[in-house]
Chain A
Amino acid sequence: MTEKRTVFAYCKKCQENIGIDVNEGEVQSQSSGLATVLSIHGEPEHGIVVYIDKEYRVRGIEYPSQLRVERKRTTIIESTVATSFEESDISFGTLIDTFGDKRKNAIRNFSILITHVLLSKPIYLVHDDFSIGKAVQGRIEKLFSDQMNLIDVISHNEIANMPSDSLVFSLQMKKIMNKCVDCKTKVVEDMIKDSLKEDSSYFRFTYQVSKILYSYKKLKEILSEIDESILDTELSRRIMIEVDQIPYLLTLAELQGFDTSPVDYNGLGRVARSF
């Protein structure tokens, strides 16, 4: 019997991850290596075309410009508008390298930046050539599918006037001038490293970011409603993220004033999930 799997793809129109049920046999049997799946969902109803590889990773998403659904008959896509598919890939490594002299430092600094974005902290990129600063800003905002308006570009003369509750990063010195959050960012660093290994690294990281944004949003919803304890393994299932990434999200939630004490570490559950 062929089993089904749920793959999550970020839909810009819904602004959240959409679960798509796929048939394992059909995905594995694709000679091209990519399965093309059409998902029609939402209110008003709209569609996305999702490309899934044999590892069940989303490789690309297209948004049909017109979609006509004839009930009880067929689904017709008249044309598609490709977005976020490969065109920005070459520059992801370059974008990361903008944040440090060495790749390791750059990844670390960029992870700190992403953490500030997740916490909705203002970010100031410092560059005396405004056009370069704006180009980097645009690239970062694209990672968040333009959902965030937290980043601004300033010159070095303005650094002293920036609020302390913000991240100030000098693109020329490749150095953090001020940060207001200090926590472990290994989860994001690993996400960046994994994305850099991929051919479509920019898209992969955008997808990872959309996943973590969605999970963090869900986590905050659960933490605000919860009145009894919950195991971290159960929480990871509900917010659809790996259990190893839970401590990072809980730290973020704590920094935003959420009570994370109802979340219990499931030692035995960790054993079952480690092999």
Chain B
Amino acid sequence: MAFALIHYISLISAVALFIATAAVGKKYASNRNPLTLVFVIFILLFAVSMLLNFSKGFFEPAGIEDALLSKAGLSLGLIVTALFSSFLLYPLSVQYRETTKQKIILVVMAAMWLLAGYAAFILGTLEIEFTGVVDGASNFRMPMAILGVIIFESFVNIGILLLVVLREKDPTFRTRTLILLVGYTIFITAEMIDSIAHLAVIVPLVSMVGLLTMTYGILRE
């Protein structure tokens, strides 16, 4: 076992996200809105990916188990991002039903999943190449195709969330979405700086701040 600070930070993030999952799940039980269900799955997968990060602590860094868990975590990251895109784009497609805009939105949604599938294929065939261990956590060379897909799709998601915030007139929903947007943006920033080796040490902290902000936005009444 090689637990380090990063693993405990992942555990804290996972617990916070599981609490958020329970809260949104409770909301789904009362409103039975399919959109809420998609959000429950999104936040649950996020929590599971954090749990996978935590479980790396049970194994030696840069070992075979570490490589498998890293691959599983990245796969979940791809699914979570594409799922979040669908969650944000689907209501827009309903809004523009029977128009050309709807077709464009549906094509974008399909493209998001195709990109995620392409990145998952690369991930499946990839041999994880570890570059060292920083503060108890292994570092590996992130394939740009995978990182690029996650970041591109995340930016699309951030753009749509920003639109939601700008268009929303009800202050309660605007504030909650704004907090979710800020948290998500912080988290994506952490993913981006993860590829810069000398900033890797602050990544877990930035990730945790982002995820806890997201959780706060979700739990806020």
Contact = CB atoms under 8 A, between A and B. Distances in A.
Contact of A272 (B24, B30, B164): B164
Nearest to A194: B30
Interface stretch (A117-125, A154-162, A261-269): A261-269
A272 B180 CA distance: 10
B173 interface: yes
Contact of A268 (B32, B97, B163, B218): B163
B36 A275 contact: yes
Given A268-B168, A269-B167, A274 B174 contact: no
Contact of A270 (B27, B35, B163, B176): B35
A72 interface: no
B35 A274 contact: yes
Interface residues of A, number: 19
B131 interface: no
Interface string A238-271: 0000101000000000000000000011111111
Nearest to B164: A268
A250 to B, nearest CB: 14
B39 interface: yes
Contact of B35 (A233, A265, A266, A271): A271
A268 B31 contact: no
A269 B94 contact: no
Interface string B54-92: 000000000000000000000000000000000110011
Nearest to A270: B91
Nearest to A242: B31
Given A267-B91, A269-B168, A274 B36 contact: yes
B75 to A, nearest CB: 24
Contacts of A194: 30
B53 interface: no
B125 interface: no
A264 B31 CA distance: 21
A79 to B, nearest CB: 37
B164 A271 contact: yes
B95 A267 contact: yes
B42 to A, nearest CB: 9
A237 B32 CA distance: 19
B177 interface: yes
A237 B35 CA distance: 19
Contacts of A267: 91-96
Interface in B146-167: 160-161, 163-164, 167
Nearest to B32: A190
A214 to B, nearest CB: 19
A272 B177 contact: yes
A242 B95 CA distance: 18
A237 B170 contact: yes
B92 A272 contact: no
Contacts of A265: 91, 94-95, 97
Interface in B30-45: 30-33, 35-36, 38-39, 43
A142 B30 CA distance: 25
A218 B186 CA distance: 43
B198 interface: no
Contacts of B31: 242, 244
Given A190-B32, A244-B33, A268 B180 contact: no
A273 B218 CA distance: 11
Nearest to A265: B95
A274 B92 contact: no
Contacts of A237: 170
Contact of B24 (A242, A266, A273, A275): A275
Nearest to B163: A268
A246 to B, nearest CB: 12
28 contacts: A194-B30, A233-B170, A244-B33, A265-B95, A267-B93, A267-B94, A267-B96, A268-B163, A268-B167, A269-B164, A269-B167, A269-B168, A269-B173, A270-B35, A270-B91, A270-B94, A271-B87, A271-B91, A271-B161, A272-B168, A272-B174, A273-B173, A274-B36, A274-B87, A274-B91, A275-B176, A275-B180, A275-B218
Interface of B: 24, 27, 30-33, 35-36, 38-39, 43, 87-88, 91-97, 160-161, 163-164, 167-170, 173-174, 176-177, 180, 218
Which 7 pairs from chain A and chain B are nearest by CB?
A267-B95, A267-B91, A272-B173, A274-B35, A267-B92, A270-B91, A275-B39
